[in-house]
Every structure is written in structure tokens, then in C-alpha cells.
Amino acid sequence: MKITDLLNRKSIAINPKVDSKKDAINMLVNLMDASGNLRDKNEYKKAVLAREELSTTGIGDGVAIPHAKTKAVKDAGLAAMIVNDGVDYDSLDGNPAKIFFLIAAPDGENNLHLEVLARLSTMLMDEKFRNALENSKTPEEFIKLIDEFENKKVNKVKEENKDGYRVLAVTACPTGIAHTYMAAESLEEKAKEMGVSIKVETDGSGGAKNVLTSKEIEEAECIIIAADKKVEMARFDGKKVIQTKVSNGIHKSEELISRATSGDAPIYHHNGSKSSDEESTGEKEGIGHQIYKHLMNGVSHMLPFVIGGGILIALAFLFDDYSIDPANFGMNTPFAAFLKTVGGTAFDFMLPILAGYIAMSIGDRPALAVGFVGGMLANKGGSGFLGALLAGFIAGYLIVGLKKLFEKLPNSFEGLKPVLLYPFFGILMIGAIIMFIINPPVAALNNGITNVLNNMGESSRILLGAVLGGMMAFDMGGPLNKAAYVFGTASLANGQFEFMAAVMIGGMVPPLAIALCTTFFKNKFTKKERQSALTNYIMGLSFITEGAIPFAAADPLRVIPACVVGSATAGALSMFFGCALRAPHGGIFVLPVISNPLGYFVALVVGSLLGMIVLALLKKSKY
């Protein structure tokens, strides 16, 4: 069924007198009733208002599409209205709505209203089409414009999409817990709205899912890579590829899909001598993002060792008997000694793994061994986390340099490069650099930082806890959040366990504050928001800050300050109560192994409640 089959001139109004959202809905319902499509006008209006309570149908760009499916509808139909001065309709982008379509669908009509809604949304994404509709002078001109555009554009899209996928995508983030799947969902939902067929591969913590096939890659028009870590790129050689940050996959999905389908994407040319995520698409990646991506590749591979080892070490202290030998606490009983030995062994891999996978991200596989050795030497030489960090980057670029140098050798040496030349010269050079150049000053710096932190006054430590907690809530998975988290894990290596506790509690508060606010201040949220917020209780208690992102993205000026206040307070209280955490993850489930668990729980409750109260004060009532 075409859009114009559901419209008639009686159900269209051009520039009527409308001053508010309430007026707009009343006018549209009257137009629908005038077209003869309704059995019960009042019941239909109630259904439309009930749908608005779930979430606004002001989709942005000056467009609103209220709709309802109910037995009060006799025949499926559309009503439309143009208001050139615009109406405040609580639209998603905050701008006034000028183009209105009201959809009426009778019960038992399958999902006609959803099909029409999707088709209208797709058509109205075209700015020229929207402008033409706004300039319509009569209902007849309005209907003619829709008919012409639907025949020319939408039918053409259907013909193009009858086989395979037009667009493919890969989403990946360093931890592979939340951003990976949020970006995938955003791209899939937006593609559905736009009438574009898409398949998204997710490279999460459990490995790659929904993997793209060679046939799908061959037939696709373009591939979108929304990732903050290494993605295997060789398979996309010769295809149009858009490479971007995973956050853009969440927040700029429409822009990415539009660009992918417009043909405005560079062709990717893979060079086997380069790392598999290096861009050859004509778009130069920023230096800052390159460094961030290499760093996160190391951190994501390091985390399992730190988490597993850290929890085992913490359990060793929990199950040991301090009174046997205070100097040997953690190793006094056989079971405690077992836990601490295994945990300590896993923990010892932390710095070599970090350096090795940073190096591999830069220089590909030949850099892995060089980075491992550099990280181990940094660990043994006292330069710790910072030394391993430098070792990873130095090792990676050492191999890049050696590759360029050895390109001049005869082809007969190709087989010797990865098994002899790269490891021999790479390990020799990284050993000399770390032992004689990096370790002496960085070890001295580490000792200085440790002394400063150990001698820090109570007020200064509380302030630092507040800063770390606030950073965790400010961009929820972004650079500041990651910087605080990396600082916390680095502190574990230096024996500063209180900072990790402040970091984790700062990341737990935002989802919990939002969940609590939707529970106790229901009038501040739509029904859909309240339902989706229930999972935030689990995500917050599990230390998955990203559960707060959809709410922060929808209302950043209110949600982010409230979360920062709650997280900063929780971080400060954690430091005030002297809470210490030896594991960099685990949320509420590692509470028993946190020193002063009661104080930590109180800090979490106070921070979450304060965040809830501030959010409730800042948010406007929905009804």
C-alpha cells in the first residue's frame, strides 16, 4: 500500500492555527475524523496520547509522526499538516516540528502502522523533500509531491536491496562489553528506518559474532568499521571502507549509513606489511586516536590477567589467618598460599601482556615478542606500568623501522625476517633501550610518585578520590573514563589499592543513580525509559558504566552533571573510609574482598542516592 492511498485532501491542513503540542494533536485527530477513518474519535485520541507517553514521536528535523493502532479506527488512514512557524513538540533534537503525519491503524491490520511509519521516516530523511512539503500551498500539491517521491526513491531502494546487503559493518571496543553492541544496534535500527539492508559483525569480549562472509563482502557497496581496537582488515581489500570510532557508530549512525550508500567512501587497499587496522582509505586518522587505539589494544588483552589474578590474590587475604604470621599475611595457610601463588603468577603477566599487545597493534605479529620482553624488563627494572607502556610503543615502532630497513634486502631473506632478523635485532634493541634509557629515570619517577601518594594528607586523598570518581562518570567509556581506569590499574601494580576502589565505585554510580531515579521519580521519564532503566540496576552493580549512555546521550546537560556529582561523592567517601581493592573489576561481587566493605557499600549507596536526587531536580516532568 502506498502512502498516497492513505491520504485524501480532507485529511490535510496547510498552516492551520496551532500553538502547542496539544493543539497539534487535536487538529490532526480532527482531520483524521473528517476523512471518515474513525469509529470513535475520543478513544482514538486517547490511544495517540498513550503512545506519546511512551516517548515523543517528534523524530527531529522538523518532523513529527504520531500514531496509534486501536479498535477505534475503522479504516487505515493518514492525516497531515504543515505549520511553517513550527510547534514545540518535545522533538528528539529539541527543534520545533513543522511537518506532521498522523497514522491510524485498525486492530487486526497486522503491523501496517509500523510499515507506514518506517516508509515515512525513510522518505522524510531527504532534506529537499521536506523543504518541498513545507512549501506546499494546497492539499493537492502536497499529495502530488509524496506520490512522485515515493515512486522515484522508495521503489528504487527496494529494487536495489532485493539481493544481499548494501552495507556491512564491524563494531568493536576495547573491552567488548557495551559499546560494541550499542553501536551494532544503533546501526541496525537506523538502517531499518532508512530502508537500507545491513549486516553488522560484533567483535566483543566473547569473540566475533555474526561474522561477515566473503560473498557478502564482495557484494556489499560499502563497509563501515566502527572500532577502537584492531580489526582484521585484509578481507576488505579493494572495497569502499569507512573507518571511524565506535562512539560514532552509536551517535552518528545515520551519517555513516548515508555516506556509505552515497558512494562517498574511499577504497581500502590493504598492505600485508602494515598492521591489520592501519588505514589506507585516504582518510588520515588522528595521532591521538591512533595512540588511544594502540593503548586500548594492550589494555583489553591485559585485563583478564589483572582481573583473574587480582581477585585470587584478594581471596587469599580473605581466607588467610593474619595472627599466624603478620609478615607473611596471604601465605600463612595452604589454601591462601595456593590462591596467592596462582593469582600472583597471573598478575605477573600484566605488564608484559600490556606492552606486547600495544607493540603488536603498531608493528603486527613480529612486534609481539619484542613488546613482551620490553614489558618484562620494565617490570623487573622498577619502571612498572609507565615503563611497560613506553616499552610497548617503542617496540612497535622499532619493528616498523626494521621492516623499512630490511625492505632493501634480497627476496631470499624474506623467510628469515620473521624468525630471525626481527626477533634478534628487536629484542636486542628494546633490551638496551629499556635497561639503559627508560628504567633509570622512570623507576625514579615511580618511586617519587609512590612517596607522594603515601605521604598525601587525608584531604588530598579524598579530593583525588572525588576527581577519579567524577572522571569515570563524565564520558562513560570515553577518554576521561578510560584515563581514570588506566590510572587505577596502574596503581594496582604499584600497591596503591585505594585508587582502584575509588575508580570502580565511580563507574558503578551512574547506572544505579539513573535506575533509582526512574523508580522513584516516574513522572520524569517515559514508560519506555523506565522499562529500559531496569537493566541499569544489574549493570551498575556489575561495574558496567555504559548502561547510563543512552540516557546521557538523550539528555546530556542534565544526566551527566547528576552522575558526576554522585560518582565524585562516592569516590571521595571510598577514600575517606580507607577502602582498598586489589581487583580492577567485579562490582558488587568483589565486595567481600574489599577492605572495609561496609564503608564501601555506604559510599556506593550515598553516591547513588545523591546522583538520583540531583537528576530528579534537573529533569523536567514528562507528564
Tens-place pLDDT, residues 194-245: 888 999 998 875 667 889 999 899 989 999 999 877 788 889 988 999 998 8
- Mean pLDDT calculated for residue range 588-612: 92
Answer yes or no: is pLDDT of 296 > 70: yes
Confidence of residue 280 (pLDDT cuts 50, 70, 90): very low
- Residues 410 and 303 both lie in one domain: yes
- Residues 43 and 97 both lie in one domain: yes
- Residues 110 and 187 both lie in one domain: no
Q: Is 435 exposed, middle or buried (0-12, 13-18, 19+ CB in 10 A)?
A: middle
Q: At 80, which CATH number?
A: 3.40.930.10
pLDDT of residue 174: 64
Q: Does residue 276 fall inside a structural domain?
A: no
| Better-predicted residue by pLDDT, 220 or 592 | 220
Q: At 230, which CATH number?
A: 3.40.50.2300
- Mean pLDDT calculated for residue range 591-603: 91
| The total number of structural domains that make up the chain | 4
**Among positive and negative, which fits the CA dihedral 201, 202, 207, 210?**
negative
Indicate the residue among 160, 176, 200 that finishes a domain.
160
- Residues 142 and 184 both lie in one domain: no
Q: Which residue has the cell 572495497?
A: 239
- Residues 123 and 180 both lie in one domain: no
pLDDT of residue 622: 64
- Residues 146 and 171 both lie in one domain: no
> Tell me: the pLDDT tens digits for 1-21?
678 888 888 899 999 999 899
For 192, the domain range is 167-262
Which H/E stretch holds residue 222?
strand 222-227
Which one-letter amino acid corresponds to residue 365?
A: R
> Tell me: the pLDDT tens digits for 128-185?
888 999 999 999 999 999 888 877 755 554 454 455 789 999 998 765 555 787 788 8
- Residues 343 and 432 both lie in one domain: yes
- Residues 388 and 534 both lie in one domain: no
Answer yes or no: is pLDDT of 600 > 60: yes
pLDDT of residue 54: 77
- Calculated CA dihedral for residues 93, 94, 95, 101, nearest 10 degrees: 70
pLDDT of residue 147: 86
pLDDT of residue 276: 41
Binning the chain into helix, strand and coil, the percentages to the nearest 5 are 65, 10, 25
Answer yes or no: is pLDDT of 283 > 60: no
> Tell me: the pLDDT tens digits for 457-509?
677 889 999 999 999 998 776 667 777 887 888 787 777 889 999 999 999 99
- Residues 223 and 309 both lie in one domain: no
High-pLDDT (> 70) share of the chain, %: 90
Answer yes or no: is pLDDT of 25 > 60: yes
> Tell me: the pLDDT tens digits for 347-357?
889 889 999 99
Highest mean pLDDT among 113-127, 159-173, 604-618: 604-618
pTM value > 0.75: no
Point out the residues that are catalytic.
67, 173
pLDDT of residue 321: 83
- Residues 293 and 436 both lie in one domain: yes
Answer yes or no: is pLDDT of 374 > 90: yes
- Mean pLDDT calculated for residue range 269-289: 55
Q: What's the rounded Cα separation, in Å, for the pair 139 and 116? A: 19
Indicate the residue among 262, 297, 332 that finishes a domain.
262
Task: Report the first-to-last Cα separation within the chain, whole angstroms.
Answer: 36
Indicate the residue among 226, 245, 262 that finishes a domain.
262
3-state secondary structure of 212: coil
